[in-house]
Copies of this chain bind each other. A is one copy, B any other.
């Protein structure tokens, strides 16, 4: 009983993070959620007041987010939420195609870690039934994160996480989440079926098809919107 209590206290210690890191996480979440417009400037004064922190702490948090490509830091002009261009989208999908298809295509037997892939499909099915299209999109991203996680590489996981975060910025440009995310659930189910049989090659082909369709849809959405500022 005593040992169990002591370990729980240790677990709380593991979660200690600095204020700067907490603020970075808050901002990251808000940016991904779309609380800020692409291109919007994050004025230090406003955020300092909103979060009751010091400017220096905020500046540290901004620096933490720089590498995540969610912010752009412009000397003497401030920090802006990234605006993705069509070229960004193309590059993101080029990288996804390379990463995800390499992972999936290398599978020759039913992989051990399918539970998360399955959970993401289940999550998507539930979201679809309940007509919650944003959550469907989130489940789709979980699906792809889980695909990459089949490689068992912490670095690949982090790369994919970053790619997905950037893609979130792009998705906010799309004004119809149902139209954008709904068609892919069936594809995910087929990819999962291939993986269950250990047919990575077939799964990678379906995945590549999906990526091409999704990329084109996103690029079309971009073309029908006003060009981003900056």
Ordered nearest first, which 9 A-B pairs have the shortest CB separation? A67-B67, A63-B63, A102-B102, A98-B102, A56-B56, A95-B155, A60-B63, A63-B64, A94-B153
A86 within 8 A of B: no
**Chain B contacts of A154 at CB under 8 A?**
91
CA distance A18 to B154 in the complex (A): 32
Asked whether, in the complex, the Cβ of A18 is within 8 Å of the Cβ of B75, the reply is yes
**Chain B contacts of A16 at CB under 8 A?**
75
A156 within 8 A of B: yes
- Closest CB of chain B to A90's CB: distance in Å? 9
- Closest CB of chain B to A14's CB: distance in Å? 10
**Chain B contacts of A99 at CB under 8 A?**
98-99, 102
Chain A interface residues toward B at CB < 8 A:
16-18, 20, 56, 59-61, 63-64, 66-68, 75, 91-92, 94-95, 98-99, 101-103, 106, 151-156, 159, 163
Would you call the interface of chain A mostly helix, strand, loop, or mixed? Answer: helix
CA distance A17 to B75 in the complex (A): 7
Closest to A99 in B: B98
Asked whether, in the complex, the Cβ of A95 is within 8 Å of the Cβ of B60, the reply is no
Asked whether, in the complex, the Cβ of A91 is within 8 Å of the Cβ of B60, the reply is no
- Closest CB of chain B to A59's CB: distance in Å? 6
CA distance A151 to B67 in the complex (A): 21
Tell which of A66, A95, A98, A106 has the most Cβ of chain B within 10 Å.
Answer: A98
Asked whether, in the complex, the Cβ of A94 is within 8 Å of the Cβ of B151, the reply is yes
CA distance A94 to B94 in the complex (A): 20
CA distance A42 to B153 in the complex (A): 28
